[in-house]
Each structure stands twice: as structure tokens, then as C-alpha cells.
Structure 1
Amino acid sequence: MTREIHGTVADGFEMVREEFAAFAAGELPDYEGQLCAYVHGRKVVDLWAGEGNDAESLHGVFSSTKGAAHLVVALLVQDGTLELDRKVTYYWPEFGTDGKAALTLRDLLTHRAGLIGLDAGFTRDELADDRAIAERLADQRPFWRPGTAFGYHALVIGALTGEVVRRATGRTLQEVYEERVRAPYGLDFFLGLPEGLEPRFRSVQPMAPTATQQALLDATPTGPHTLASIAFNTHVPDPGELVDYPNSRTVRAKGPASAGGVAAARGLAGMYAAAISEVAGRPPLLKPDTIAEVGQIHSVGYDLVARTHRAFGLGFQATADAWYPFLGAGTFGHSGAGGSQAFADPRSGLAYGYTRRRMAFPGGAAPENERLVRAVHCAALAA
């Protein structure tokens, strides 16, 4: 199949276009995707492909949303509004029940709270509402002793940290993000999509696993009461399909900070470029000490929820350790279940954003990102 590739690359980044074209033009069925990258604040890659898809199309980016949430927290820490080693109860007194009283904000951000979900689970409406999630989790007993281990708080971390933000500032995390990050840079990355922009949204589509992938799924231990099922809320009678989460207008409108964001690749890359580089005459959002803090690995090893090796910085994924070891130390970002990937590599000045419409297997960054990231990174180092 031949599929037209749109967009531009800067001189020296031609091989990125070649890699994008290789799979977009035939290796992936029904492909709709976007790729954008900046180096030291300059846009160097802006590509898209797929019928009905353009550079301004918006996709559900699932957990790449967490990058926006944690950038807000980083800014408030940088301001002195939040202190990482204060107890969460300093900001949110009701949180301190059932063994959670000693938990610090640092431990909460780094997936060490043990508060991955509810014994009884959440309703679909609750999962669209960060305030409802936070209120119910305040009374939940942790699933491991806080601070002793870590596990991915997939659907709740943004609500937990967002409640701390709300208590400290009187504003929701989404409001702070809009005011300090999205609006000033005109980013196509929304935590709460205005109704007037709905025509730009491309609904997430499922992708059937291959025979090999299905065999892997069948061999993976599952159960209705595992940590993973609680974390992903699949232990309730009618959990719904993950693919449908961003397809809900309620989710898109409220923009829950764990996984409800909607973005174009330009918005993902633009946010990380603004975080570490001068963009459009504006200084970087984060100071060097803050960049070092958020990229420093805080939790590494066996993830109790994912049941595999994982690494997290201060809320962000430690992208080099988790995905691409050729990237610079201190790279920070977050992938999403639909296949999106976004990060900043401060050492090379690279900011990267990728979206696609069809769900990736087995979740998280789509496999083609490895080739794309490598190509972009090599070109950035040579630039």
C-alpha cells in the first residue's frame, strides 16, 4: 500500500522522514499518525499520514497525559508552593487514614503510595472525575506499605497529585496547566477539550493482535483480584474497554490528569520543548535544577503492578531506562496506552512527540517509536 506522507523536516533530519514513511506507507494497516520534534527549541520534524488525519488532528493520548500533570507539579515545586518532602497530609489532612499519614509528596509522585485503586473499584463516571477519584482514595487502605515498593498508579496518580495541587493553590491541576503551560504556548495538548474543538478529535480505534501477540496474551497470568486488575479497574462487573476511555466526551471535557488528555504530536513535543528550551522568545519553563530533579530516577526495579522492570523519575517515566537506553541520562517523559510517546532529553536538547489513532500492542509506546526516536536522536546529535 502507498500512503502519502505530509509535512516537513529540517536539513539533516531526512532519515527521520524515511523511517516514518517506511511504516506509515505500508508496514502498519490503516495507519494514522503524527510525529513532531524540536531541538533546542527549534521545530525540526513535523510529519503526519493517514486518511482524514492532518497536523491539527487530536488523538487520545492516555498516559502521556501524566507528563502534563507532572509538569504542573514541577512548576509548583520550583515556585516553592509545593515541597517534595512534606507529608501529603500537610496539604490534604483527610488523606492520612489507614497507614498513609507518613507518605510524602515525593513518594506519592513516584508511584510508591500503594494506592493504585479501590477494593470496590470505580464507576466509569468516577474515572472521568479527578475529584471523585481523590475523595474515594482518601479512605482506601494501601495495597502495600507506602514507600517500601512501587507500582504503576495507572488511572489515579493524576487525581492524587491533582488534589494536592488543588489544596495548595485553590485551583485544579487542569486550570494551572491551562494558565501556565497550554495557553501561553498555544499547545494542541488539552486537559479538558473545549466543545468547539471536538471536530478535530479522531476517535481511538482498536487494533486486533497478531497470532503471536494473542498467544502472548493467552499465556499472561491474569485474575480478577490482582494488583494489575485493581490498578486498571478491570475487577468491576462492567469495566468497559480501555480503548473507549478517551472516546467519551465526558472524559475529553473533564481531562482527568492520569489518562484523559487529548493532543496532537505538535502539542506533545511543544510542551517538552517549552519545559527545557527557549521557545518563541520565552525562557524554559523549568530551571536547570528542576530539570535535574524531575529526571533523576526515584523508583527503579520490579513494578508490582506492571510485573516487569520499570523506572520513574519525579512522576515522569525515566524514558532512557524504560524505553530507549541510547537517550541521555535524565531524559523524562511519558508514553500512553494508545501508542503515544513524548519526552525531553535535556542533554541533546531533543523534545519528541508521537501520536497514532489505533491502539498499540501491548500498550504503552508503539513499537515504531524505537526506530523513530533513534533516527531523531541521531540527527539531533549531528545537528
Structure 2
Amino acid sequence: MTQEITVHGTVAEGYEPVREEFTAFIATERADYEGQLCAYVHGRRVVDLWAGDGVDGDSLYGVYSSTKGAAHLVVAILVQDGTLELDRKVTYYWPEFAAEGKGALTVRELIAHRAGLVGTDSGFTPAELADDRAMAERLADQRPFWRPGTAFGYHALVIGALTGEVVRRATGRTLQEVYQERVRAPYDLDFFLGLPSAHEPRLRSTLPMLPTAQQRALLDTVPSGPHTLAAIAFNEHAAEPTDLESLLNEPLIRAKGPASVGGVASARGLAGMYAALLSEIDGKAPLLKEDTVAEFGQYHSVGYDLVARAHKSYGLGFQATADTWHTFLGAGAIGHSGAAGSQAFADPRSGVAYGYTRRRFAFPGGAAPENDRLAGAVHRAALAR
């Protein structure tokens, strides 16, 4: 059914097909759709669009696992600086991590989701989920769920806590503090790891998924159990099980900005961060050198993900985005999706930096399906220019 939703914002000359694609997509959506789309090419903003009642380009959304892109940009910067070394053992920075047979794991393996440490036997409290240091302390004592380094699985709620503790031990500062100082503040990005209270009025609360009857039937066929790796990874086995769809509606999560899932951003903020990672902006050199981008975008964990129970591809901390959008993205593209539907990435071969947000959870969770057509339209327009 066609919906009367107006697309607002601007596109640069040559990017009119992106607006057309966004408009065509929205015509198929629910009347309560809200979303934003932003893209840069070689450091220049070329797409800045939004749609929905009450939303504008400055609105903020919970971006869930797109937060992991910001977290691992911090790691990449510190590796580039020489503060962190990927092939050192985690215990070089964090001695307590050696408990329960984890002592041989390297930083490289840790951030490639190979630690086998997707959660704890009893789960986390809501307060612990908001506090990366509290989670790290629990995880240091946890026996891994597979032999570290031998397989991989998505460390959905904890990879930022693990990464963050390594950063804190190496620098004396939290990952969130380094991100604010080195990334967010210099570029005035609307992408927060810890949302200041002054920005709360700009926030659009996350709305739950509303699957169709057919989609609900598909969800009901997915096998699950209270103590599977997936349940442990998403804290569904805890005394107070985590409701992922409402997680970013919790003020404590937003305020502390846990580095796995606690980020709050606009599409401008998502795309702007990846543009700064990749390209010169306002006379500032790219945050990462080409060699660093290449190393973090190199495939490190590819194949059967023990948590997702499906084929997945990871670089170092980032998703290997080119494997997801393989019909148009070049090898070495890095980024991360979020559970509610957000997607953000940088493609070094085309110079595209992309960000997308939406308010209502998209089926089936993770990068919303429309990213395929929207990101593809941006990429085609960039190549045509």
C-alpha cells in the first residue's frame, strides 16, 4: 500500500537517483516509517535525506551494533599509533584475562570474534550491561565456550567491553574517552558513545519490530533454547533477560554508551565518522592510513559463525562489509550494521562513506534489507561521477 511520506533533505548534482530510490522504497513502507540516509564521497557530503513524522537530519537514534565500528576505529587508531600491537597476547595488557585457559589469545584474535567469550554462565544484570568495566571483570574469570582461536562467533554484547578493557589498560583511559577526544569532538560528529543529557531531546526512541504473519512464522521456525550460544551471547539466559528491541530506550545504556551496542547517532554522524576514517575533511588528514584500513578490512574470520549459526565474515572488529554487499562494494570495505536496521561503512576503492538509520526494528534484525538498494544507488552514482 502506498504511503504519503515526504522525503526531505538534499543531494548533490548526479545523486538525484539516490533520492528517487529512497522515495520509491518509502512508498512501500508503513505509515509510521522514520529514517535517515547520508553519504560522503571522497570527504564531500553528497546525500543528506530523511523521512517520517517528527524526524529531521539532526534526530538521533540508537544504532546498536553500529557502535562496534566506532569502538574498533579507536583500536585501529591506537594500533596505527603503536600504542597497541595486534599480535601481542591480550595478557600483555590485561594479565587477569589469562584465567580459564585464555592466556594464549592475541589482540588480533580477540577483536576478530575468536575468543569464545560471548557471555557468562549466569548472564549480566542490566546495570552490568551498561558498564563495560563491570562486564570485562566478569569475562576475565569466565571459561570460554570454545577453545580460543579455533573458531569464531559473534560476541554481540561483549566485544566492546573486551576491546575497551585492552584500551583502558594500554592508555589509562576508557575507550569512550579516547573516542571522544580523537574522533567525535574533532569532527563534531553526531555519533555518541555516552549521550550527554543535553542531547536527549533529539532522541527518537526505538520502536519494536512488527513482522507480518508470514515473517512471524519464519521467526518461529528458528531453533532456540535458554542456554544456546546465541542465548548466552544476547543475554537471554540471565535472571533478567535482555530485551534487545528496547535496550537503547534505557537511559543508563545511552548515558554510559557501552562500546558493543550503546551508541546513539544520526545518519550524518555514522557517515561522517567513516568519511573521516577514509578521507581528508576540512583540511584534516584521514584518521587511518591506507595500510591500516587494509589490515582492518582484511578477512580474519570467515565461515560458520557459532553464535549466528550462519555464514559470516569479519575483519578486525569491523564486519567485512564487502561480503554483505558483494554486488557493488569493493574488497576491503569496512563497517558495521546495527540490530534495529542501521548500516554504516567505508569503501576505500570508491571513496564512499555511508550511514543509514531507522526508528522501527526491521525484519529480521540487523542491517535493514533496504540498505541493499539505497547503498547500491549511492555507489552507482559515485562511480558515474
TM > 0.5: yes
Preserved contact between residue 75 and residue 285 of structure 1 (Cα < 8 Å): yes
Mapped to 1, the partners of 2:30 and 2:233 lie a distance apart of 30
1:1-383 matches, within 5 Å, as 1-383=3-385
Describe the superposition over 1:278-298 as per-residue Cα deviations: whole angstroms up to 9, x where unpaired. Answer: 011111000011011011010
Contact 1:34 1:354 in 2 (8 A): yes
Per-residue deviation, residues 323-367 of structure 1 (Å, max 9, x unmatched): 444200000000000000000000000000000000111111001
Q: Is the CA contact (8 Å cut-off) linking 2:114 and 2:151 kept in structure 1? A: yes
Q: Do the aligned partners of 1:72 and 1:176 also contact (CA within 8 Å) in 2?
A: yes
Q: Check whether the contact 1:38–1:350 (CA below 8 A) recurs between aligned residues.
A: yes
Query: How far off its partner does 1:144 sit?
Result: 0.3
- The residue identity in structure 2 corresponding to 1:84 is L
Contiguous gaps of at least 5 residues in structure 1: none
Distance in 2, matches of 1:323 and 1:248, equals 32
In 2, are the aligned partners of 1:3 and 1:26 still within 8 Å (CA)?
A: no
CA deviation digits over 1:77-105, x for unaligned, max 9?
A: 00000000000000000000111000000
> How many Å separate the matches in 2 of 1:207 and 1:364?
11
Looking at structure 2, the residues matched to 315 and 332 of structure 1 have their Cα atoms a distance apart, in angstroms, of 9
1:151-198 deviation digits (Å, cap 9, x = unpaired) = 000000000000000000000000000000000000000000000110
Q: Which amino acid aligns with 1:211?
A: A
SS in 2 for 1:246: helix
The aligned amino acid for 1:123 is T
Quick one: which amino acid aligns to residue 111 of structure 1? Answer: H
Asked if structure 2 preserves the Cα contact closer than 8 Å seen for 1:116 and 1:231, the reply is yes
With structure 1 as the length reference, what TM-score do the two structures score? 0.99
Once residues 324 and 42 of structure 1 are traced to their aligned partners in structure 2, the CA distance between those partners, rounded to angstroms, is 24
Deviation of the 1:26 alpha carbon: 4.2
Contiguous gaps of at least 5 residues in structure 2: none
- Aligned pairs, number: 383
Does structure 2 conserve the Cα–Cα contact (< 8 Å) formed by 1:59 and 1:203? yes
Contact 2:341-2:362 at 8 Å conserved across structures: yes
Q: Would the aligned equivalents of 1:4 and 1:25 in 2 still touch at CA under 8 Å?
A: no
The answer to whether the 8 Å contact 2:123/2:237 transfers is yes
Aligned-residue offset at 1:218:
1.0
Name the SS for the 1:27 alignment partner: coil
Is the partner of 2:248 in helix, strand or coil?
A: coil
User: How well do the aligned residues superpose, as a CA RMSD in angstroms?
Assistant: 0.8
Q: TM-score, normalised by structure 2?
A: 0.98
CA–CA distance in structure 2, aligned partners of residues 137 and 240 of structure 1? 17
* SS of aligned partner of 1:281: coil
Structure 1 residue identity aligned to 2:141 = D
Identity of aligned residues (%): 76
Equivalent-residue separation in structure 1 for 2:42 and 2:213 (angstroms): 42
Pick closer, same or farther for the CA change 1:324–1:200 going to 2, 3 Å: farther
Contact 2:226 2:236 in 1 (8 A): yes
